[in-house]
Amino acid sequence: SKEHRKDKVKLSTVVQPEELEGFFTRYAEVMKAETTALKKRDRSGRKKATKAKKKGKGGGETTGEGQKK
């Protein structure tokens, strides 16, 4: 949000062309470690809504092409 933008820190680095491949290798390792530590999104509410819609309980009217009116 706009309020938190001023709290964020932006980093940059300079990598020499001959060190670029090694940099990307180490960068990929760091990113992979960070993404495995992330918590998965809770999509249970979305699944329930999809099931209800398939049964005809939810959603609006649709045209022949599957688009809402």
CB 63 within 8 A of CB 69: yes
Q: Which pLDDT belongs to residue 36?
A: 80
Q: Reply yes or no on whether the pLDDT at 7 is more than 90.
A: no
CB 50 within 8 A of CB 56: no
Spatial separation of the C-alpha atoms in residues 14 and 65, rounded to whole Å = 52
User: Among residues of the chain, what percentage have pLDDT more than 90?
Assistant: 25
| CA angle 29–32–35, rounded 5-degree value | 150
Q: Does the global pTM surpass 0.85? A: no
32-56 burial, b at 16+ Cβ within 10 Å, e below that, comes to eeeeeeeeeeeeeeeeeeeeeeeee
Q: Which pLDDT belongs to residue 42?
A: 77
pLDDT, tens only, 25-52? 999 999 888 888 777 777 777 777 777 7
